[in-house]
A and B are shown apart, each in its own frame.
Chain A
Amino acid sequence: MIEEAREEQITNGQSFSAGGEFRSLDPRVVKLWLVTDLIGYGFLLSIMLISLLVWMLVQPLLSLWLIAGWVVLAGICLWFSFWRPSRAYRAWSYRIDKQVLETRSGIVFHRTRLLPLSRLQHVDLERGPLERMYGLSSLVLHTAGTHSANLRIPGLDAHEAVLLRDRLVEIGGEDAV
C-alpha cells in the first residue's frame, strides 16, 4: 500500500537536497503523541485508582488524602499530555547535510545525533496502529554502533517516510573512498 503511494509521490518531486536545511516532523505527530500519552497515563492512573479503591475498602484510613493525591496526579498527567507533544515537536528537526543525517531533539536534554550515511546498515519503517490512524510512520536507522545503534525519527508523514528512507539508502550506498 505504501509502495503504490510512493510511485505517486515521485512525480511530486519531494526531494531532499543534500545541502540540507532543517526539516520538521509532520505536525500531526502532536496529536498522535497527545493521544498516546493520554492513553498511557490513563491506563496507569486507572490501575492506580483501582488499587486505591481496593485499599480504601480494606483500610478506610486516609481515603480523602489518597483520592485527593490521585486527582492531583491525574491533573498533572493531563496537563503534561497537552504540554509535552507540542514542545517535543518544536524541539525536533532533522536534515541531511553532506552525506550525514543530523537529528536534533529533546526538550530538557538537547541531543544532536549525527549519522554518516555510509554507516547505515539498514532502515526500518515502523507504523503502530495509532500512527496508521494519523497517516504517520517512524523511521529507525541502524548502524553497527552500540549506544547509537538505533536512531529513530518519529512522526513522519507515511509517504515522506518512504521517500526519506529511499533517499538515505541511496546516499548511503554512494561509493565513498
Chain B
Amino acid sequence: MQSELLDFKGRLHPLTLLFGILKGLRGIPLIPLVFFGGRWTWVLPILFMFTVISILSAFIRYFSFSYHIQGNELITQQGIIERKQRIIPLERVQEISIEQSVFQRLFDVVEAKIETGGGQGAEATLSVLSRSEADRLRRAVFDRVEAIKARGVDPELVQPPIPRERMVIHRLGINDLVIAGLTTNHLVSAMVLAGALWNFADDILPDTIYQRAADIIYSLTRQLAAQGAMQAIIIAAVGVFSILVIGLLFSILGSILLFYGFTFSRRGEDLHRAYGLFTQRASSLPRHRIQVLKIEEKMMRRLFGLATLRADTSGRTRENEDDNEGRDVLIPIVKRAAIDQLLPVIFPDYISDRAEWKRVSKLAIRRGMVKGGIFCLLVASALFTYQREFIALWPLLFLPIIYLVNLIRYRNLGYAMGDLYFRTRHGWLGRSTQIVPINKIQAVEVSQTPFDRRLGLATMSVDTAGQAFTGGGPHVTNLPIAEAQTIAATLAQRAGTTNYKW
C-alpha cells in the first residue's frame, strides 16, 4: 500500500492548449481596436504579434506544467526559462474544489483549485484536467493526508472506518431556489440590474424597435396623464412594479443558475457541497476546518422562518460579504427549525453544549436612542431652518420608532458561553448568529471607544482564521467592562488549553 502512495505524477489535459489559446484570442482585439478605430493597417501586425505571443505562452504553460506528490508535499512546476516551483505541504491542503464551466463541460474537463490554510484563496489552480484525473488527484491527496494523520495517532486507539458512501443531509429543489430568489436581500441590486438593462436596451436593440416601444409608452402615458394625476400615479406605480417583477425574476434566475441541484452531504469527516447549472461546482470541506458557523436570517427570509448557513474556513478569503459564487455557503436556504438538527452534523460535540443566551447592558438601548435621536434632531432642525414651518419637524416623529428598533436590537443582542462553543447574536430586522468552536479561537480583544468608557461598557471580539471581509468576526457590543474582561479571559484561557489543528 505504501508503494502505491509514493508515486503520483500528473500533467494538465491537452485541451488546456485549446482553452489557453481561446483565452488569449479573446483578450486581444478589444484594446487595439478601441485605440485605433478603423485604421486596420496599423492594427493588423500588432494583433498578429499579440496572438502569436499568447498562443506561445499557452503552449509553454501547458508543456511546462506538471505536478507530483513527493513525500508529504504536493509540488507544482511551471515555466521553461523561469522555473516556478510551488511546494504545498499536504496537511495544509484544506480543500480541492472542482469547477466546470459550460464550455468545459462540453469536453468533460474541470478546473481544480487547491486551497490551503493561508487564506489567500487558491494556492494553485490546475486548469484544465479531465474529470477522472481530478478525482484521482483528489483521492491521492486526501488519502495521503489521512495516512499522515494516522501515523500521528496512538495505534491503540481504534479509528472508526471511513464510510465510502456519501450521506446526503440536505437537498435543494427548484421550489427552494425560487423561494431563495424571492426572498433575497439582493433584490435591490437585482432591480438596479433591471433598470440598467433597460438603459442597455437603448444600445442593443435596433433603433427602430426601441423608438417604437418608447413611442408607445410615451403616448400611453400622455393619454393617461391627460386624464388626471391619478392615472399618472398609477402608471408610475405600474412602472415601479414591473421593475420589481423583473428584478425578482432575475433574482430567481440567478439563484437557480448558481445553486441548481444543491446537495449537501457528508462522508466521514468531510462535508460535501455540489451545485450549479452552467458552471458546476463541487467542493469538500473537512468538518474541523470550519472556524465560524454563521446562521444568517436576513429580513425577508426571517419572515418565512428561513435562514442561510455560512462557514468561515481557514482556507478561504472573501472579498465581500455577498460572495457571489457561493463558495462559503454551506446551505443557501434552509428552514430555521431544521438547523438545530443539522448542527450536530457539522459540530459533532455540539449537542452537549446548551449554554443559555446572556444579554448585554440595557444601556445599549439608551445609546441607540441617543444616536438616533440626535440624528433626527439634526435633520429636523436643518429642515426647520430651511422651511420655517412646524411641519418641517416631522423627523421627530421617528423617535418612538427608533426606540422600538433599539429595543428589538437589544433583545437580539447576546452571547452564550458553552464549554466547547461560543455563540454571539445580533441584528434587528435580520438576525445573525455566529457559532465559534472555542478551540478555533486565535485571539480575543476587548475594546472601548470614549463613549464606551463613559458608560462603563466595552466590545468584546473573537478573532479566528479565515475571515476576510469587513463584517468583523464574532463580537458582542455594549457589555459591562468587567464582564467583558472576564469572558475574554475565560475564552482566551480555554482556547489556550486546546490545540489548534489546521
A and B: bona fide binding partners: yes
Q: Contacts of B447 on A, CB cut-off 8 Å?
A: 106, 109-112
Bound state CA distance, A117 and B500, in angstroms? 11
Cβ < 8 Å to A, chain B residues 119-175: 119
Interface residue from A108, A110, A114, A144 paired with B488 (Cβ < 8 Å): A114
If A109-B448, A109-B450 touch, whether A146 touches B500 (CB-CB below 8 Å) is: no
Bound state CA distance, A99 and B488, in angstroms? 14
A133 within 8 A of B: no
Q: Contacts of A118 on B, CB cut-off 8 Å?
A: 495-500
- Report B's interface with A, CB cutoff 8 A: 117, 119, 314, 441-450, 453, 458, 461, 463-468, 472-473, 485, 488-489, 491-493, 495-500
Interface residue from B450, B458, B500 paired with A119 (Cβ < 8 Å): B500
Asked whether, in the complex, the Cβ of B442 is within 8 Å of the Cβ of A114, the reply is no
If A112-B488, A176-B498 touch, whether A146 touches B445 (CB-CB below 8 Å) is: no
Q: Which residue of B lies closest to A142 (CB)?
A: B442
List 19 additional A-B contacts (Cβ < 8 Å) besides A118-B500, A119-B443, A146-B467: A97-B489, A100-B489, A106-B447, A108-B450, A111-B448, A114-B445, A114-B489, A116-B441, A116-B443, A116-B495, A118-B495, A118-B498, A118-B499, A144-B117, A144-B465, A146-B466, A147-B463, A147-B472, A148-B443
A113 within 8 A of B: yes
Q: Contacts of B465 on A, CB cut-off 8 Å?
A: 144-146
A156 within 8 A of B: no
Bound state CA distance, A61 and B495, in angstroms? 63
Interface residue from A99, A106, A144 paired with B493 (Cβ < 8 Å): A99
If A109-B448, A119-B443 touch, whether A98 touches B499 (CB-CB below 8 Å) is: no
A151 within 8 A of B: yes
- Report A's interface with B, CB cutoff 8 A: 97-100, 102, 106, 108-119, 143-149, 151, 176-177
If A100-B492, A144-B314, A176-B497 touch, whether A119 touches B448 (CB-CB below 8 Å) is: no
Bound state CA distance, A92 and B64, in angstroms? 54
- Nearest first, the 10 closest Cβ-Cβ pairs linking A and B are A116-B496, A145-B442, A145-B463, A114-B492, A148-B443, A148-B463, A112-B446, A110-B448, A144-B465, A143-B442
Q: List 21 A-B contacts (CB under 8 A).
A: A98-B493, A98-B496, A100-B492, A100-B496, A102-B489, A102-B492, A110-B448, A112-B445, A112-B446, A114-B443, A115-B443, A115-B492, A116-B442, A116-B496, A118-B496, A118-B498, A143-B463, A145-B442, A145-B443, A146-B464, A147-B467
Q: Contacts of B448 on A, CB cut-off 8 Å?
A: 109-111
Q: Contacts of A151 on B, CB cut-off 8 Å?
A: 443
Bound state CA distance, A146 and B120, in angstroms? 11
Interface residue from B445, B450, B466, B496 paired with A148 (Cβ < 8 Å): B445
Q: Contacts of A119 on B, CB cut-off 8 Å?
A: 441-443, 495-496, 500
Asked whether, in the complex, the Cβ of A112 is within 8 Å of the Cβ of B473, the reply is no
Q: Contacts of B441 on A, CB cut-off 8 Å?
A: 116, 119
Asked whether, in the complex, the Cβ of B472 is within 8 Å of the Cβ of A116, the reply is no
Q: Contacts of A117 on B, CB cut-off 8 Å?
A: 496
Asked whether, in the complex, the Cβ of B117 is within 8 Å of the Cβ of A111, the reply is no
Asked whether, in the complex, the Cβ of B443 is within 8 Å of the Cβ of A177, the reply is no
Bound state CA distance, A98 and B491, in angstroms? 12
Q: Contacts of B489 on A, CB cut-off 8 Å?
A: 97, 100, 102, 114
Q: Contacts of B461 on A, CB cut-off 8 Å?
A: 147
Distance (whole angstroms) from the CB of A94 to the closest CB of chain B:
14
If A100-B492, A144-B314 touch, whether A114 touches B497 (CB-CB below 8 Å) is: no
Q: Contacts of A100 on B, CB cut-off 8 Å?
A: 489, 492-493, 496
Asked whether, in the complex, the Cβ of A144 is within 8 Å of the Cβ of B498, the reply is no
Asked whether, in the complex, the Cβ of B493 is within 8 Å of the Cβ of A146, the reply is no
Distance (whole angstroms) from the CB of A70 to the closest CB of chain B:
29
Q: Which residue of B lies closest to A112 (CB)?
A: B446
Q: Which residue of B lies closest to A146 (CB)?
A: B467
Bound state CA distance, A134 and B449, in angstroms? 32
